[in-house]
Structure 1
Amino acid sequence: MHLVPADRADRRTIDGHRVCDAIAAIGDAGRVRAWADRFALLADPKRLALLLALHRTGPLAVSDLAVATGMNDPAVSQALRLLRAAGAVTGEKEGRVVRYRVVDPELAALLAHCTADD
């Protein structure tokens, strides 16, 4: 099946069948963007530390995450705001305490893969 888009069909290829396979492997541009956004979240060591802690332990409050990661409470809160806006985590309020947990299943699977050797 020929997958080269019409706007690129006039360009010369060396291995045309591999080009089509590469286009198929890349897939939907929206899905590529979603994964790029996930990787951007993981690119910051502090956000990654928060996600790993939440993934491994389950719901934790901001102050507990601050102690676990060595960050201060405002920095944890700011990172969690970003992670929450991206749909990676959610907070569940219990009285005055909000405990956060990872809710993006694809991100959770990636975190599980990253920590599988531990």
Structure 2
Amino acid sequence: MHLDTEVCGLDPESEYVELAVEVFAMLADATRVRIILALRSSGEMSVNHLADVVDKSPAAVSQHLAKLRLARMVSTRREGTTVFYRLTDEHASELVVDAVKQAEHVVGTASHHRTQQTGA
């Protein structure tokens, strides 16, 4: 598939390159990657539930969520006194999934290609 590089900001001289670097920097933390993956699979979670899933304290998870919220990667919904977090869109989770797939290649366990080849 051919992408129009001007429309998508894929030109190496694009002003979005620096912003893309900021996105990668935001995702350069194992806890934030785990939070993104947890929200990807669950859709929406509270801080306490996320803390259980990623095995970190609620305070630590709350700090990571604040950063992700400032980066507009997650958004919130309040229900009474509980705040639920969800991914703003699919792009952050797609980046994380692609990074995990790349990591599989690095260690030689890239099963995602075998699944595609066999049609499973």
Q: TM-score, normalised by structure 2?
A: 0.69
Q: Which runs of 5+ in 2 are unaligned?
A: 1-9, 102-111, 113-120
Percentage of pairs with the same residue:
32
Comparing 37-46 with 106-115, which one deviates more in the overlay?
A: 106-115
- Equivalence for 1:55: 40
Larger Rg: 1
Deviation at 1:111, TM superposition (A): 3.2
Preserved contact between residue 47 and residue 61 of structure 2 (Cα < 8 Å): yes
- Equivalence for 1:101: 86
Preserved contact between residue 26 and residue 68 of structure 2 (Cα < 8 Å): yes
- Structure-2 separation of matches of 1:108 and 1:34: 17
Secondary structure of residue in 2 paired with 1:54: helix
- Equivalence for 2:7: none
- Equivalence for 1:27: 13
Q: Taking structure 1 as reference, are residues 58 and 115 closer, same or farther at Cα in structure 2, changes over 3 Å only? A: farther
Superposed CA deviations along residues 27-84 of structure 1, whole A, max 9, x for unmatched, are 30x2111211111111111111111111121100000000000000100110001110
- Structure-2 separation of matches of 1:64 and 1:112: 21
Question: Which contiguous aligned blocks of 4+ residues in structure 1 show a shift greater than 6 angstroms?
Answer: none
Secondary structure of residue in 1 paired with 2:65: helix
Secondary structure of residue in 1 paired with 2:56: coil
Count residues in correspondence: 94
Preserved contact between residue 50 and residue 65 of structure 1 (Cα < 8 Å): yes
Please give the root-mean-square deviation of Cα atoms over the aligned residues, in Å.
Answer: 2.2
Q: TM-score, normalised by structure 1?
A: 0.70
Preserved contact between residue 47 and residue 79 of structure 1 (Cα < 8 Å): yes
Preserved contact between residue 41 and residue 48 of structure 1 (Cα < 8 Å): no
